[in-house]
Amino acid sequence: MKKDITIPAVTDVFMAVVKEYNNEFQCEDWNAYIVNNKDTTIEMVLIVSKGYDEDKMIETAVLRHKIEKLPAKSFAKVELLQEEVLKLSNFFNVTFFEGNTMFDKKYLFEKGAIKEGALRNIPLLNKRGILIN
């Protein structure tokens, strides 16, 4: 039965981690975003995230997020990443529907990848961050 289920490859949907100023707390925060660069809306977006370090056997709690609809050429903030979590590998599993087709992709920010020196301009967000596809 499992072999009969085909899940197509994901294109034009990305995860990004952005460093941005928080006006409320007057500090710099790291935030994870999902980016839909498709020409169509994606629906029922489920994101499961976790930080871990296999060497030190450290693991964060698993967080789950749901976005009903993410319009074409748009993005949504998923979660705040605390400084301690940046030292870990950060994993995001994204599942969504485009029409009647289900898509699933795993995104991994390797340990040490989220840092100031890796920031690049992310056009759709118009912010500086780290984009993974």
Confidence class of residue 1 from pLDDT cuts 50, 70 and 90? low
Q: Which two tokens stand for residue 32?
A: 């994870």
| Residue predicted with more confidence, 133 or 34 | 34
Read off the pLDDT of residues 109-121 as tens digits, 9 standing for 90 and up: 999 899 999 999 9
Mean pLDDT taken over the chain: 93
For residues 56-82, average pLDDT? 96
For residues 69-79, average pLDDT? 97
Q: What is the pLDDT of residue 2?
A: 65
Read off the pLDDT of residues 4-43 as tens digits, 9 standing for 90 and up: 777 799 999 999 999 999 888 888 999 999 999 999 999 9
Confidence class of residue 95 from pLDDT cuts 50, 70 and 90? very high
Classified as helix, coil or strand, 30 is strand
Q: What is the pLDDT of residue 56?
A: 86
132 CB burial (10 A radius; 0-12, 13-18, 19+): middle
Report the C-alpha dihedral over residues 127, 11, 82, 27, rounded to 10 degrees. 10
Write the CA distances from 116 to 93, 120, 126, integer angstroms.
24, 9, 17
